[in-house]
């Protein structure tokens, strides 16, 4: 980025800081005095990042928190929606039902990098992840059950183990509160959307409380003859004795039904093809290739977890966090493979999968203050185990010719109890991740030093096929307090992700993918008003990245070095008591070195060099206990590469809107995503020389009514 541009961005940040805007919930306890009334509010601290409470401005790298208020204002209904207005985060291959594959700072962040209450659930640590009906789709968060989404930027292996060098996403479940509240809501919308939500919180006494959240949702998917339905029930329990002990239990049951195809909508793009007039480009994008009444998916999740903390001796405290999830899934799917320009081969698979996942994290920490010296030490152990087994029945179906599709004369095929299967496949796998880690903060005067080290062992496989890998990762950072809420910082960190089970043509193990990240930045946290701002410059390297070969299939080669570098600017606050603002700008440039023969695509597509987002939310003054609220969001995605490394996707500007009215305990809201129904693709993949674009969100309108008491 040119020096002049950096100065302009920095001046913009400083100018807004000087306006005295108010920020969202970050940092430590803040006291506000308004016309003789003192209001004490707790801002969100960095516990999700460093496991202990640390001031946001002293954490030496970038992170973003989307709290419950943000989720409500924007009408968020999926993990993808929650990330739309965050600097450096772009959704590339996503669908409406289950799967999420985003990028943070140019690198993919799939379900491996999504944690629940700080604990890993399901993810593909032992293979290259991509869109598949497998273990990566076994966990899909229900946004109505969350109180916050935290996005940590950069290499996070010290805190989360195996991870992308781009960052990680942590989801915090709603906890029970020591005050009563009840809310019921119904929603209706386009695509036959209907939804009912209940959230009941009741204190049992001065020290404990119980809460239940329940959701039912159903709507049509973009592929014809396809729909999804979800049931969700989440009870939680909280108990505390102030300054002595806190104990929380979380649980939920979630059932997802998908009829038809759960895959994201893809369309063929003639303008990027050397033969755009071929008949295959006339095949409808929404065409359902499966068997009605047979294709679909049933997924049941059961989760239970707890957190507790208490003092043990002197200044020492102990904290433990654990979570267990069990998943039962049935995938019934018609797979399609294009052969030449005139034929689609079809095969039907019936897969039954059972999986479970367990994570536990235990650490002790001590905080000491002597004058201008603040010392914080933490040491702990954690483990993650996931196991899955599946059985797949496979049957070849009649192929479809393009000419028959255009005439509407296709032989769908039949699957029933008398079907003779062509193949039966069984497999199972267990992976372990065990680690010891230490973190240390030493603060003297205006300078704060932050270091961390993690030693991790990874085991993947069964019996004699087990593969063991060891990784040492570390992080070091420093921040400086300039006064009046301004802090500058620098950080260096590493990441690690095993590639167990991947081999080169020479039958050699691919080895782990490593990441190295450096970041410098400037943070502002107003000591008097709610204002948070971050300006960061980053440089991230990803080394030894495996890419599957087209021929021979099942083998991999590697990209020696993938580099992402750029700057981010993120602001979140209140311009005045009636207007809130969230603004982000990201410049990211990706460079690839060491491309080897046989690599046709390294998934360049989907990440823009320039991305800008702005959300404005206004609130009128109370008039006879009635209030109007309105939100307008704009998202700009700049030019993006396709994975043929030749074509690009044109820039696109998207708009979202929300209109809300509340009187007494009654509320009505209207939410519109992609307000102008702008057609765009998030990424393009080349398959059999035909470019397929993953279609972005289409316009979605929902009308909701809620009652609180």
Instruction: Give me the helices (H) in 426-544, please.
Output: none
Q: Check: CB of residue 396 under 8 Å from CB of residue 380.
A: no
Alpha carbons 74 and 635: distance in angstroms, whole number: 13
CA distance 170 to 104: 13
Q: Quick: pLDDT tens for 492-506.
A: 999 988 877 778 888
* C-alpha torsion 698→707→82→193, nearest 10: -30
- Beta 666-673 vs 652-663: how paired, if at all? antiparallel
pLDDT tens-digit profile of 135-169? 667 888 899 999 999 998 988 788 888 888 888 88
16 has pLDDT over 60? no
Whether the predicted pLDDT of 48 surpasses 90: no
- Look at residue 20 in the predicted model and tell me its pLDDT: 37
**Does the structure show a pLDDT above 70 at 41?**
no
Q: What is the pLDDT of residue 97?
A: 61
pLDDT of residue 15 exceeding 90, the answer is no
Arithmetic mean of pLDDT over the chain: 85
d(CA 629, CA 579): 10
The pLDDT, as a whole number, for residue 424 is 93
550-609 pLDDT, tens per residue? 777 778 888 888 889 999 999 998 888 788 899 999 999 887 776 666 555 555 567 899
The answer, yes or no, to whether residue 8 has pLDDT greater than 70, is no
**SS3 track for 98-143:** CCEEEEECCEEECHHHEEECCEECCCCCCCCCCCCCCHHHCCCCCH
Render pLDDT for 181-225 as a digit per residue (tens, 0 to 9).
999 999 999 999 999 999 999 999 999 999 999 999 999 999 999
Buried b (16+ CB within 10 A) or exposed e, 20-31: ebbbbbbbbebe
- Please check whether residue 521 is in contact with residue 532, taking contact to mean a CB–CB distance below 8 angstroms: no
Distance CA 435, CA 476 (A): 19
pLDDT score of 302: 97
With vertex at residue 38, the alpha carbon angle to CA 37 and CA 42, rounded to the nearest 5 degrees, is 140
pTM: 0.89
Placement of tokens 């309108």 in the chain: 701
Amino acid 91: pLDDT: 75
Question: Residue 36: pLDDT above 50?
Answer: no
Confidence at residue 7, expressed as pLDDT on a 0 to 100 scale: 43
- Counting Cα atoms < 13 Å in the Cβ hemisphere of 388 gives 24
Number of H helices, E strands in the chain: 6, 38
Query: Is it the case that residue 656 has pLDDT exceeding 80?
Result: yes
pLDDT of residue 99: 62
Q: Is the dihedral of CA 384, 247, 67, 153 positive or negative?
A: negative
- Inter-residue contact 591 to 78 (CB < 8 Å): no
Q: Is the pLDDT of residue 655 over 90?
A: yes
Please state the rounded mean pLDDT for residues 484-497: 92
700-708 and 181-189 beta bridge pairing: antiparallel
Share of the chain above pLDDT 90, in %: 50
The sign of the CA dihedral 550, 551, 556, 560 is: negative
């Amino acid at each position: 980025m040119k020096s002049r541009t950096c100065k302009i961005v920095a001046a913009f940040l400083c100018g807004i800081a000087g306006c005295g805007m108010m920020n969202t919930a970050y940092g430590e306890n803040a006291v506000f005095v308004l016309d003789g009334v003192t209001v004490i509010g707790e801002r969100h601290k960095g516990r999700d990042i460093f496991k202990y409470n640390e001031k946001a401005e002293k954490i030496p790298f970038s992170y973003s928190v989307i709290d419950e208020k943000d989720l409500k204002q924007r009408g968020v209904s999926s993990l993808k929606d929650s990330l739309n207005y965050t600097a450096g985060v772009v959704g590339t291959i996503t669908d409406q039902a289950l799967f999420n594959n985003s990028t943070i700072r140019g690198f993919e962040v799939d379900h491996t990098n999504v944690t629940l209450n700080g604990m890993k659930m399901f993810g593909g640590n032992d293979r290259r992840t991509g869109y598949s009906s497998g273990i990566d789709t076994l966990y899909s968060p229900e946004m109505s059950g969350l109180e916050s989404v935290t996005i940590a930027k950069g290499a996070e292996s010290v805190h989360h183990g195996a991870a992308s060098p781009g960052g990680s996403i942590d989801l915090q479940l709603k906890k029970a509160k020591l005050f009563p509240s009840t809310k019921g809501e119904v929603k209706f919308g386009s695509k036959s959307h209907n939804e009912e939500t209940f959230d009941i919180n009741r204190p049992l006494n001065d020290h404990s409380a119980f809460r239940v959240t329940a959701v039912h949702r159903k709507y049509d998917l973009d592929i014809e003859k396809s729909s999804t339905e979800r049931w969700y029930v989440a009870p939680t329990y909280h108990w505390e004795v102030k300054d002595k002990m806190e104990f929380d239990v979380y649980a939920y049951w979630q059932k997802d039904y998908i009829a038809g195809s759960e895959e994201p909508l893809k369309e063929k793009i003639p303008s990027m093809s050397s033969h755009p007039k071929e008949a295959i480009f006339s095949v409808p994008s929404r065409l359902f290739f499966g068997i009605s009444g047979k294709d679909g998916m049933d997924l049941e999740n059961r989760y239970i977890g707890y957190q507790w903390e208490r003092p043990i001796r002197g200044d020492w405290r102990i904290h433990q966090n654990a979570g267990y999830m069990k998943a039962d899934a049935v995938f019934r799917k018609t797979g399609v493979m294009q052969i030449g320009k005139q034929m689609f081969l079809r095969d039907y698979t019936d897969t039954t999968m059972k999986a479970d996942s367990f994570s536990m994290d235990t650490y002790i920490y001590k905080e000491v203050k002597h004058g201008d010296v603040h010392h914080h030490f933490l040491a702990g152990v954690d483990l993650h185990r996931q196991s899955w087994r599946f059985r797949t029945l496979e049957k070849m179906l009649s192929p479809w010719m393009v000419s028959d599709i255009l005439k509407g004369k296709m032989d769908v095929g039949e699957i029933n109890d008398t079907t003779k299967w062509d193949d039966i496949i069984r497999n199972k796998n267990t992976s372990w991740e065990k680690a010891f880690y230490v973190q240390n903060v030493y603060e003297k005067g205006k300078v704060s030093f932050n270091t961390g080290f993690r030693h991790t062992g990874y085991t993947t496989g069964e019996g004699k096929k087990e593969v063991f890998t060891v990784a040492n990762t570390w992080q070091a950072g420093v921040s400086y307090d300039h006064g009046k809420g301004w802090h500058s910082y620098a950080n260096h960190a590493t990441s690690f992700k095993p590639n167990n089970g991947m081999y080169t043509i020479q039958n050699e193990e691919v080895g782990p993918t490593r990441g190295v990240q450096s970041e410098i930045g400037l943070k502002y946290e107003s000591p008097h008003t709610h204002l948070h701002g971050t300006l960061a410059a980053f440089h991230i390297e990803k080394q030894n990245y495996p890419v599957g070969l087209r021929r021979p299939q099942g083998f991999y080669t590697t990209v020696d070095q993938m580099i992402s570098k750029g700057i981010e600017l993120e602001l979140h606050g209140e311009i005045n008591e009636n207007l809130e603002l969230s603004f982000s700008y990201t410049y990211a440039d990706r460079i690839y070195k060491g491309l080897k023969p046989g690599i046709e695509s390294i998934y360049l597509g989907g990440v823009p060099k320039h991305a800008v987002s702005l959300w404005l939310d206004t609130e009128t003054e109370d008039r006879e206990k009635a209030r109007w609220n309105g939100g307008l969001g704009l998202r700009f995605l700049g030019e993006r590469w396709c994975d043929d490394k030749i074509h690009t996707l044109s820039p696109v500007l998207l708009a979202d809107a929300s209109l809300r009215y509340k009187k007494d305990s009654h509320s009505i809201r209207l939410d519109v995503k992609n307000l102008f129904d702008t057609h765009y693709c998030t990424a393009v993949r080349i398959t059999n020389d035909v470019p397929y674009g993953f279609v972005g969100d289409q316009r979605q309108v929902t009308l909701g009514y809620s009652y609180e008491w």
